[in-house]
Amino acid sequence: MTTKFLTPPSFRSLRFFNSPLFFLETLDSKVKYSSMAEVDNKSNTAPPVSDEELYGFKRPEMYTGTLAGSVAPYGRHVFLCYKSHETWLPRVETEGLPQRFAKSFKDRRGDFAVKTNLTVCGGGESDGDVLIFPEMVRYKAIKETDVDAFVEDVLVNGKPWTSGVQEELSGSFVFVCAHGSRDKRCGVCGPALMERFEQEIGSRGLSGKIFVKPCSHVGGHKYAGNLIVFSPDSAGNVSGHWYGYVTPDDVPAMLDQHIAKGEIIQNLSRGKMGLIPEGEEAVKEVEHKIPNGNGVQVEKKGLTGGCCQGANGVSCCQEQTPEPVKKEGSVKQNWFRSIEKEELLLGAAAVGAVATIAVAYSIYRKSG
């Protein structure tokens, strides 16, 4: 019986498995495999979406809403300067001075001569300052303990605040909604708009004539970028005009068209302070008596937001007592009454005539 031995692998093949060449080839294949797997994983993973695409001017909902008529009618806008917009709570009116103002507004809203909006704007060194439009006046450094007296004097009674100095404002004001903690869209769009405004204002030499401030929620986050422009028209009247879907590319037109010429940019217009919805009638006339001024301006409440300013920028709005309206029923009733009176007079005249004839006839008979 012949015994066969298995042939062991050659030393050469063993040396190959243990050689650096085999290790490098193996390593290279692993690297290639790993690289291919990474490519496959990347191809299956969508690229990250930026805030600009989700919340900024490239978001899908941009220009999909109807802007016209998205502003409720009102006649006065009060801005309270308070801290930096970057530190505001989602509901900024739930803390500190804004909370105190919001409560006073709620308690006295029914006593205001005109519907009044309250909005918080950027403060910092000007914390506690109050800006009022269309009157174009400012009161400085109002404290929480001052709020009720301020609202009573200025907003309810239409008089200058007895405990503060009223300053007249000049120039144009742009309030940009940048309330990022309330809505991410305003947080992305607002700062970008303010930056572009500052650039364009500086390049035009308009610093000190046009003022841009961040403001809190004004309604309509879906229309971001939102802004309100207070600028005098050719007649010197001031009213707040609201714009939506504004992008940094629209800023030059805002300056050159709206502020410089008083021309409304219609495709971005949301509405205007003082306008009433279609189909509603004007409520009543409001007489603006101007202390320290020379004139009295009468305007239809709800129809315009004109600025009535006295020599010191003082504006007092007092409601006129409307004349009683004559109803159709009462007119008819008076008409019937006049007819009845005429009939009575005619009847009395007829009776008198008959009596006169009877007396004359009686005398005639006796004389005959």
pLDDT, tens digit (0-9, with 9 covering 90-100), for 37-47: 454 555 567 77
282 has a pLDDT exceeding 50: no
Structure tokens given for 62:
């941009």
Kindly report which listed range (9-13, 91-95, 252-256, 361-365) carries the lowest average pLDDT score: 9-13
pLDDT band with cut points at 50, 70 and 90 for residue 330: very low
Q: Report yes or no on 37 lying in a domain.
A: no
Q: What is the pLDDT of residue 234?
A: 78
pLDDT band with cut points at 50, 70 and 90 for residue 240: very high
Q: Report yes or no on 49 lying in a domain.
A: no
- Could you report the per-residue pLDDT of 168-188, keeping only the tens digit for each? 999 999 999 999 999 999 999
Q: Report yes or no on 243 lying in a domain.
A: yes
Q: Are 53 and 59 in contact (CB under 8 A)?
A: yes
- Could you report the per-residue pLDDT of 58-69, keeping only the tens digit for each? 999 999 999 999
Q: Report yes or no on 97 lying in a domain.
A: yes
Nearest-CA neighbor of 227 among 207, 247, 210, 208? 247
Chain length of the chain = 368
Q: State residue 237 phi and psi, 5-degree precision.
A: -80, 145
Is the bond preceding residue 90 a cis peptide, omega within 30 degrees? no
Q: Report yes or no on 172 lying in a domain.
A: yes
pLDDT, mean of residues 342-347: 54
Q: Report yes or no on 220 lying in a domain.
A: yes
Tell me, what CATH number does 228's domain have? 3.40.30.10
308 has a pLDDT exceeding 80: no
221 has a pLDDT exceeding 90: yes
Compute the distance between CA of residue 13 and CA of residue 15 in angstroms, rounded to an integer: 5
pLDDT, mean of residues 133-155: 95
- What distances in angstroms separate CA 274 from CA 189, 232, 270, 307, one per listed residue? 27, 15, 13, 11
Structure tokens given for 199:
């650039």
* DSSP letter for each residue of 83-132: S-GGG--TTGGGSHHHHHHHHHHHHHGGG-SS-EEEEEE--GGGTT-EEE
How many structural domains comprise the chain? 1
Q: Report yes or no on 57 lying in a domain.
A: no
Query: What integer best gives the mean pLDDT of the chain?
Result: 76
Instruction: For the sheet with 296-300, list strands across it.
Output: 296-300, 285-289, 316-319
147 has a pLDDT exceeding 70: yes
Q: Report yes or no on 110 lying in a domain.
A: yes
pLDDT band with cut points at 50, 70 and 90 for residue 362: low
Could you tell me the residue range of the domain that residue 269 belongs to? 76-279
Q: pTM for the complete prediction?
A: 0.65
